[in-house]
Amino acid sequence: MSPMQIRKMDDMHVHLRQGDMLHRALSHTAVQCERALVMPNTIPPILTATDLVKYRESIIEALASVESFTPLMTFKIVPGTTPAEIHSLKAHGAIAGKLYPDGVTTNSEGGVTDFKALYPVYKAMQDEGLVLCLHGEMPGAFSLDRETLFLDVLRTIAADFPKLKIVLEHATTADAIKCVSELPDNVAASLTVHHLYLTLDDVIGDRLNPHAFCKPIAKRPEDRDMLVKAATSGNPKFFLGSDSAPHPIPSKECACGAAGVYTAPVLLPALIELFERNNQLERLEAFTSEFGAKFYGLPLNKDTITLTEESWTVPDEYHGVKPFLSGSTLKWKVAADKTTAAVTDARATVRAPRA
């Protein structure tokens, strides 16, 4: 079979973390993506222009010399965020702000409870052309309803700020797809790979699988099917944002497991299989490498990535983190050039599967 070439991807939602984890996990994203929108829920969070500049420097420093990768920087919107800080963040290279409702996911403590109180911040973001990225879950609601109940907040902000670009991050429900489809073109949604594969049964239907646990939690089969339909529809409102979120295995396999699925190592191979299964392979490149860039007003990436049809088994772990689809056999493999492959391999500690 001849190799497949596609434009390098934009991952419009990724958690790169800090310190050792950043150093070890970054290659998986940087090999497949030319750019990625880097989430600000670090410890401490990215709140100010100074934080943002420092974090961008640490990401660039963590890149291997062979990797050409641009981190697209974000900041965390908290109750204390001010319009003045928004202008400064923009001047220092931010392209989006991420709003986490209070307590709904990893490192979202101290998040937003009063969405209207931030109207001056949304106004400043609209004026600056910054994108508002929403973690769309209503705090305190029943977990399966959290996203649906948040949609009224999205509708209200979209109506009150018609020129503000808004992304409903990691949409998980048929309700969200319908809502975003019906809203004007300044509103889009990112879709993860794991939510295109999983339903709640993969998390709790048989034995508890903490590695499929994430926020928002995977929903019903009809929701998952609607997400797949949206991703493969060719509608530019829906684009890739992996939400790849590495957590060390002990933080997942414990009594109080962290939310997050580490999809970066399998991103493109898993998407190819999904689009192939749905007979929509010709729409893959737009989903991974065009629609996100167009929504954010960025030029399309110029480089391509090559994949060969060569089956491989996803390792049980990379550097102490269990990747999505570990143990499964995938058909397509990223054909990184020799130097890049060596860097990635050096960072991957592949151990024997756990019993």
Q: Could you list the residues that contact Zn ion (CB under 5 A)? A: 243
Which of ligand DOR, Zn ion, none does residue 259 bind (CB under 5 to 8 Å by kind)? ligand DOR
Find the binder of ligand DOR among 64, 179, 259, 284 (CB under 6 A). 259
Between the CA of residue 12 and those of 31, 133, 315, 335, what are the distances in Å? Answer: 15, 10, 25, 22
The continuous run of DSSP H or E covering 76 comes out as strand 70-77
Q: Annotate each residue in 20-59 with x if it binds ligand DOR (CB under 6 A) or - if it does not, as one string.
A: ---------------------x------------------
**How far, in Å, CA of 164 to CA of 73, rounded?**
18
Q: Does the annotation count 243 as an active-site position?
A: yes
**Direct distance between the N- and C-terminal alpha carbons of the chain, in angstroms, rounded to an integer:** 36
Which of Zn ion, ligand DOR, none does residue 7 bind (CB under 5 to 8 Å by kind)? none
Q: Find the shortest distance in angstroms from Cβ 331 to ligand DOR.
A: 27
Compare residues 214 and 272 and give the one whose CB is closer to ligand DOR. 214
Check binding of 135 to ligand DOR (CB under 6 A).
yes
Check binding of 265 to ligand DOR (CB under 6 A).
no
Give yes or no for a contact between 350 and 315, defined as CB atoms under 8 angstroms apart. yes
**How far, in Å, CA of 6 to CA of 283, rounded?**
11
The residue written with tokens 């973001």 in the block is 125
Please tell me which residue in 11, 175, 223, 243 is annotated as part of the active site: 243
Check binding of 263 to ligand DOR (CB under 6 A).
no
Which of ligand DOR, Zn ion, none does residue 289 bind (CB under 5 to 8 Å by kind)? none
Between the CA of residue 9 and those of 25, 153, 207, what are the distances in Å? Answer: 17, 30, 34
Give yes or no for a contact between 253 and 210, defined as CB atoms under 8 angstroms apart. yes
Q: Find the shortest distance in angstroms from Cβ 18 to ligand DOR.
A: 12
Q: What is the strand order of the sheet 33-38 is part of?
A: 9-14, 33-38, 70-77, 94-99, 131-134, 166-168, 187-191, 238-240
Find the binder of ligand DOR among 106, 126, 235, 344 (CB under 6 A). 106
Compare residues 164 and 259 and give the one whose CB is closer to ligand DOR. 259
**How far, in Å, CA of 209 to CA of 255, rounded?**
12
Nearest to 243, CA basis, from 212, 274, 219, 275: 212
Compare residues 109 and 309 and give the one whose CB is closer to ligand DOR. 109
Q: Annotate each residue in 228-257 with x if it binds ligand DOR (CB under 6 A) or - if it does not, as one string.
A: ---------------x-x------------
Chain centroid offset of residue 149 CA: 21
Find the binder of ligand DOR among 22, 59, 214, 240 (CB under 6 A). 214
Check binding of 76 to ligand DOR (CB under 6 A).
no
Compare residues 210 and 315 and give the one whose CB is closer to ligand DOR. 210
Cis peptide preceding 216, ω within 30 of 0: yes
Q: Using CB positions, name the residue nearest to Zn ion.
A: 243
Binding residues (CB under 6 A) for ligand DOR: these are 15, 41, 105-106, 135, 214-215, 243, 245, 259-260
Q: What are the residue numbers of the active site?
A: 243
